[in-house]
Structure 1
């Protein structure tokens, strides 16, 4: 039997991958998880003891308001221990090529949706002196070519997290950034083929300018994913970070992040560019 912690944890993007695995890990620690999903079939797949699926598109104000009401009106009056902002999308193409609408979509989900979640749930976290865990990416600091939009949205999330951490510290709320490296997830597996499809639709001039670069970057990332950590392993670490008593402000996730981030912080930009190019 798992002893109940008598507290809630809300997580977005819990349909598959890191989010689903983290929901199960957190529930395994005895917390009641409000797992944000977008489709009924995803809700059926994640529903389990201590896991309550919640319809949640973080770009929709009504969905976020409904989640806030669910927490405020919890029949057992359980406190909100943590919010894990995990939902995200990844569409990679050269900056010149990627349509502005796709740029806006990635920022809408990867940044503004999390800001909206945070704004709505801060009152509950203030009452519980709870925690916000924002899932970022190693790319927020060390960005590969064609990853400008995705990495840019994550860098913006990290800057917002840094400001928020200082704003709410006196209120007893902790803000933690998790800089994830490569993880084997459905989103990561779809990323390369999607980039190649976008490349196939480029103009002849853009193909001449960027075609080889896109192919090489996708090939590198696809090869790397064969050695990336699993979603389960990533989830175990995120669950530990979410529930530990005194978390750090930043964590790297995966061996590539643990290696790349310190290197990026000490080497000159042009040297890192050459390393990535090779």
Structure 2
């Protein structure tokens, strides 16, 4: 498979950047989707070709599809890794609808745009789609409603897609990421606290302590989370596995939380999460 094309969105930092470098080191030619020219200059390297890609912009996605189909060396598209995402957390009642829409546009409709544009190339190469989801898609923490909801929707769409394209030779894999040390994770807590300062007095009385305790828990947890580089190694193994599973957990919390959620009653999980 060496030398084949792989597309990675959200490649300017975190899991995406580490995955691009890991795949390039294994001999793939990686089209690394970034939103800014300065990010392109920072990630460019041997077998790493930056492409300007805002997953919410149809013209960017169309240009990416043309780059793949018009490849000068006629290399097949081995995989598409939908990694781009944003995380803005606040209580359901408080978070403005425009921020809900923004997260769904990036985290759900962005991957769908890319899949629709690149599926013909993947069908020709019998390639693979890897959608980066979250443990939160199954176990949503308080204040994570919009982010978790967008990832849960991505997983449902991925399940349907996997069954639609199975006979066409295209594989669809979901990666349920737990805690990973990334810039997005680092920004998440302070952003939630910043949003909380804009709550009304009534909402502060209802949710202020909940927001603070959830942010404190997540910040403490991230101190022991895996690095983006370790996550990238696992994602690279998923991309190159001969017979990948439909779902993979990523990180120690995924290995414990997901099995518990699948066997324990919902009310018991509610009590565990609340603590």
Give the TM-score range, shorter chain: over 0.9
Q: Which residue of 1 aligns with 2:74?
A: 77
Q: What number of residue pairs does the alignment pair up?
A: 275
Shift of 1:6: 2.7
Aligned to 1:244: 241
Confirm or deny that 1:50 pairs with 2:47. yes
Instruction: Note if 1:261 corresponds to 2:229.
Output: no
- 1:39 is displaced (CA, Å) by 0.7
Q: Shift of residue 134 of structure 1?
A: 0.2
Residues 1:217 and 2:214 are matched in the alignment: yes
What is residue 177 of structure 1 aligned with on the other side?
A: 174
Residue aligned with 2:248, SS = strand
Structure 1 residue 245, shift from structure 2 partner: 1.1
Q: Take 1:105 and 1:68, find their aligned partners in 2: how far apart are those partners?
A: 23
Among 65, 68, 81, the alignment partner of 1:68 is 65
User: Which residue among 118, 123, 127 is the counterpart of 2:124?
Assistant: 127
Task: Please give the alpha-carbon distance, in whole angstroms, between the structure 2 residues aligned to 1:47 and 1:203.
Answer: 46
**Helix, strand or coil for the counterpart of 2:87?**
coil
* 1:118-138, Cα deviation, whole Å (9 max, x unpaired): 000000000000000000000
Does structure 1 residue 13 correspond to structure 2 residue 10? yes
Superimposed CA distance per residue, residues 120-178 of structure 1 (whole angstroms, 9 cap, x where no aligned partner): 00000000000000000000001100000000000000000000000000000000000
The two structures have a TM-score, normalised by structure 1, of 0.98
| TM-superposed deviation, 1:270 | 1.1
Q: Secondary structure of the equivalent of 2:84? A: coil
> What is the rounded CA distance, in whole Å, between the counterparts of 1:262 and 1:89 in structure 2?
26
TM-score computed with the length of structure 2 as normaliser: 0.99
Instruction: Describe how 1:81-120 pairs up with structure 2 within 5 A.
Output: 81-120=78-117
Moved over 3 A (4+): none
Matched, 1:204 2:204: no
Q: Please, which runs of 5 or more residues in structure 2 have no aligned partner?
A: none
